[in-house]
Chains A and B, each alone.
Chain A
Amino acid sequence: MSSTLSTLTAAQNLASASIPDPDRLAPEDAYYKSPPRRPRQRSPLGLAPGDGIALSARKRREKERGRSTNGRRKANYKKLLWFKQPFPDNYTDEETFLDHLQRNPRLQPYEFWSLMADSTVIVQHIASVAIFCCCFVAIAQDRVPPVSVVSWASLCTVLGWALWDYWMGQEEAEAAKATSSPPGFPPSGYNPPYVDSTSSLSPRNQQRLATAKSGLLIYAAVLGLSPILKSLTRSTTPDSIWAISTWLLCMNVAFFDYGGGTGAHLPASISTNSALMASTVLASRLPSTTHVFSLTLFSIEVFGLFPIFRRQLRSISWHGHLALTIVLVISACGGVFVTLTGGGRAACIAGVILGGILTFFAMGICSWWLIGLQKYKNEIHGPWDPARPVIRRRWD
């Protein structure tokens, strides 16, 4: 069987003749993508161990056969089906076999610092989950009044929304400048669905009004639902609640949409849903309706709205993104250490320093590991892959 496997590797060798070790790719191999066709040094069939020997062996064979079959072999082999070739059906031509094979054609080697920069997105999310957990513990242990948590969070949300609104305005102005469309028409093809053209308010103000309305609606709904949420899983034992909420938060981290891309589209719904469900489950361990209301609203802000803001911030300003990451990591580490030790300011500072270093090294090690794993990447492409149609216009 080992020789069968070596067939595969030998067959793959030939596509990357310039690479010394065919099974291991260095990042710079991506630059030599699809090398020009050259006469093959190695036989794809591995017929003979050495380079030159294969050729001579083949010649010798041909000579022997030529004697017996009167030079019938001289005809060229072509990769065609429609004419009958003077070769048996299982003949494998050494020149043309697998000549269109491509390995790792679109490989982009990773760079350490860009990977570090990209990993901040994950760090941000994990930090915000950690902050949520710390807030829950603090609320549950009555160390922090729940109303103050949710008030601060709501204040931050409103500020964030104001900033977001400002960015939207800037974007619109830029789009209008770029297209310089005649007045009277909306600047771009995008038309908000809830804009009433007969209203006296400008479209942006209408949008703001709609956002405020939906915010108020969510607020009222959570307020009304809190008593129900409080008793929803009351009868379940705490052990199950901790296990379920842990799993749900892990799901949230795992399924979160870390991709870039601007726009305020909601992140993957499975992630948001699992986080909100975790907060609902946790809410049953809290003593009063006010607690439940605060925690639920806080979770909506952290898991529903905050990711949108983070995404937008990242696309607009890298420095702002970095600053936010640092703030999040500091508060998460401090919060976790205070929660774990139950200590005061000293624990908080120690936690920030230790946690910061730990996070930085974790990011570094993971990035380095990923770069190291790149050499195992072996993507095979060839004429058997379904083609990707290139279509200029879509009829949708």
Chain B
Amino acid sequence: MPYNIAMISDNFFPQPGGVESHMYQLSSKLIDRGHKVIIITHAYSGRTGVRYLTNGLKVYHVPFFVIYRETTFPTVFSFFPIFRNIVIREQIEIVHGHASLSSLCHEAILHARTMGLRTVFTDHSLFGFADAASILTNKLLKFTLSDVDHVICVSHTCKENTVLRASLDPLMVSVIPNAVVAENFRPLSHTSSHSSHHRDAPGPPPRLGPHDTITIVVISRLFYNKGTDLLIAALPRILACNPNVRFIIAGTGPKAIDLEQMIERNVLQDRVTLLGPVRHEEVRDVMVRGHIYLHPSLTEAFGTVIVEAASCGLYVVCTRVGGIPEVLPRHMTEFAKPEEDDIVAATGRAIAALRAGKVRTELFHNQVKQMYSWTDVAQRTERVYDGISGVLSHDEFYQGAGAGGGWSATRGRAGVQSFALIERLKRYYGCGIWAGKLFCLCVIVDYLLFVCLEIFAPRSRIDLARNWPKKDFKDAKDKEVDGTKEGPVIGRKRSARHRREKREDSS
């Protein structure tokens, strides 16, 4: 049963970033699976109105006032009329919000629940509990997620964080990782086999001698939380300990000046190459110039870039923070504590392992291709949609929930949340002594607004948008089953689909 899904976030193309590409890839894969997906974001300069992307993905750029770093001004109710219009025009059934700092997403989830739609929220980032900004964001998140149907997190650490931040039932939170488009991150040997065999570029040769140059690549925005301070401290020591090592550093940010100063002070210009900002399409071309990828980040929910590096056939040295330890298997990574000494030591170990030929980096690409794919992500997301809309039964979706007695407040009997206003108010009321009452007030106003809109702008006067003409659903499905045959075995997900198909056949 195909769904009509609206993805909502403040962050979308043309702005580059992880959330943006996640939304785009997930949407296009869901379209491939026969669903209808639209994206709602705010208007960027030069991007207004409705646009179509590849695959018939429709993007609504809603005109909104942007305050800070492409985040819209949070006005709790002003988004409702246009949101309702879009939802009715496109016959949306599921509203899927992304990124916890996007006010558009939070507002959309609130309005969607008022309109009686299913909602999903994907959290892409980690937050602490200490500083004032986090406390405020967490309260806001609690408000929105009090009445959401399901939450998706990109790593287990992210799930723990979100469960604590928003006081959620852990069974309401799924972990679905990000993925990479492995075809875009091929190691050099793959392409050179097609074109020229005798290239001088430092591709991964079968074995590195003790005097061959090893290149370490760092691609990150040069911010404090990306660990640039650690990089600045560790880099000269790594170069001093290991001769025949070079660095390529790409990216820019406020710490770039510190980095340049360090290079000048230690006279390392001939061993460190600074590339400046690099577009996402060029990342692969930079990565394949190296052998080791160094990722000294201080916090990271998932760390897509290390998966991309491994896919390019680089050995990864990274700090053991956030969700990073979950992302790659041991044989692809060397972990370090976020300390200068340990990073130097870990990089030394990685260089020694490469020189000894212990690491089979040429196999990494195919392994990563089997671990992470957007098709898989789309399948797993589809299971979430099935669960919240009642296609999967309660017991099947919330496995391990026991008799379900303890969870009646968060979930209705059918495994899906009730839309009754009084039930929703009950959920919001528990958010806090003062906040609970404030949230209830907001919800009631939102409901009244909805009733007003129904009277003054009735549904019958809103035109329905015509769907993008697409290939037959059957064809797409067949093609995909073929695709999964040659890919990894995805027993669990496919079984869910098969079961449903069987059910459809029998009915």
* A residues adjacent to B (C-beta < 8 A): 1-5, 7-8, 11-12, 44-48, 57-58, 61, 65, 79-84, 86, 88-92, 97-98, 100-101, 379-395
Question: Are A389 and B338 within 8 A (Cβ)?
Answer: yes
Q: What residue of chain A has the Cβ atom nearest to residue B227's Cβ?
A: A389
Question: Are B319 and A387 within 8 A (Cβ)?
Answer: yes
Question: Are A82 and B329 within 8 A (Cβ)?
Answer: yes
Complex CA distance for A392 and B146, rounded to whole angstroms: 45
Q: Which of A79, A92, A98 has the most CB of B within 10 A?
A: A92
Check: B383 CB closer than 8 A to any chain A CB: yes
| Stretch in B81-89, B157-165, B190-198, B464-472 with 4+ CB within 8 Å of A | B157-165
Question: Are B430 and A1 within 8 A (Cβ)?
Answer: yes
* Cβ < 8 Å to A, chain B residues 140-180: 146, 150, 152, 155-158, 160-161, 163-164, 167-177
What DSSP secondary structure best describes chain A's contact surface?
loop
Task: Using A7-B168, A384-B157 as known contacts, say yes or no to A395 and B265 having CB atoms under 8 A apart.
Answer: yes
Question: Are A392 and B160 within 8 A (Cβ)?
Answer: no
Q: What residue of chain A has the Cβ atom nearest to residue B258's Cβ?
A: A395
Task: Using A79-B156, A390-B339 as known contacts, say yes or no to A89 and B174 having CB atoms under 8 A apart.
Answer: yes
Complex CA distance for A202 and B167, rounded to whole angstroms: 66
Task: Using A91-B400, A384-B127, A389-B227 as known contacts, say yes or no to A83 and B371 having CB atoms under 8 A apart.
Answer: yes
Add 5 more A-B contacts to A89-B176, A90-B150 (CB < 8 A).
Answer: A82-B326, A86-B492, A89-B384, A90-B387, A380-B129
Number of A-B residue pairs, CB cutoff 8 Å, is 185
List chain A residues, Cβ under 8 A from B157: 382-384
Question: Are B156 and A389 within 8 A (Cβ)?
Answer: no
Question: Are B326 and A79 within 8 A (Cβ)?
Answer: yes
Check: B133 CB closer than 8 A to any chain A CB: no
Question: Are B170 and A97 within 8 A (Cβ)?
Answer: yes
Check: B409 CB closer than 8 A to any chain A CB: yes
B322 is contacted by which of A65, A81, A82, A383 (Cβ under 8 Å)?
A: A383
Check: B262 CB closer than 8 A to any chain A CB: yes
- Chain B: minimal CB distance from A39 (Å): 18
List chain A residues, Cβ under 8 A from B233: 389, 391-395
Question: Are B225 and A48 within 8 A (Cβ)?
Answer: no
Question: Are A391 and B229 within 8 A (Cβ)?
Answer: yes
Q: What residue of chain A has the Cβ atom nearest to residue B372's Cβ?
A: A82
Question: Are B410 and A4 within 8 A (Cβ)?
Answer: yes
Q: What residue of chain A has the Cβ atom nearest to residue B368's Cβ?
A: A82
- Chain A: minimal CB distance from B373 (Å): 11
Check: B393 CB closer than 8 A to any chain A CB: no
List chain B residues, Cβ under 8 A from A61: 400, 402
Check: B429 CB closer than 8 A to any chain A CB: yes
Complex CA distance for A264 and B253, rounded to whole angstroms: 35
B431 is contacted by which of A1, A65, A380, A388 (Cβ under 8 Å)?
A: A1
Task: Using A1-B427, A82-B328, A382-B161 as known contacts, say yes or no to A390 and B225 having CB atoms under 8 A apart.
Answer: no
Complex CA distance for A292 and B327, rounded to whole angstroms: 70
* Cβ < 8 Å to A, chain B residues 376-425: 380, 383-384, 387, 397-402, 406-410
Complex CA distance for A94 and B176, rounded to whole angstroms: 19
Question: Are B164 and A47 within 8 A (Cβ)?
Answer: no
* Cβ < 8 Å to A, chain B residues 318-351: 319, 321-323, 326-329, 337-341
Check: B239 CB closer than 8 A to any chain A CB: no
Q: What residue of chain B has the Cβ atom nearest to residue A383's Cβ?
A: B157
Check: B48 CB closer than 8 A to any chain A CB: no
- Chain B: minimal CB distance from A256 (Å): 21
Question: Are B321 and A383 within 8 A (Cβ)?
Answer: yes
Question: Are A57 and B402 within 8 A (Cβ)?
Answer: yes
Task: Using A98-B160, A391-B230 as known contacts, say yes or no to A3 and B340 having CB atoms under 8 A apart.
Answer: no
Question: Are A384 and B161 within 8 A (Cβ)?
Answer: yes
B490 is contacted by which of A2, A7, A84 (Cβ under 8 Å)?
A: A84
Interface string of B360-374 (1 = CB under 8 A from A): 000000000001100
Check: B426 CB closer than 8 A to any chain A CB: yes
Complex CA distance for A90 and B467, rounded to whole angstroms: 32
Complex CA distance for A89 and B340, rounded to whole angstroms: 36
Question: Are A2 and B409 within 8 A (Cβ)?
Answer: yes
Q: What residue of chain B has the Cβ atom nearest to residue A92's Cβ?
A: B170
Task: Using A7-B168, A391-B230, A391-B233 as known contacts, say yes or no to A384 and B299 having CB atoms under 8 A apart.
Answer: yes
Q: Which of A4, A83, A86, A381 has the most CB of B within 10 A?
A: A4
- Chain B: minimal CB distance from A265 (Å): 24
Complex CA distance for A394 and B340, rounded to whole angstroms: 11
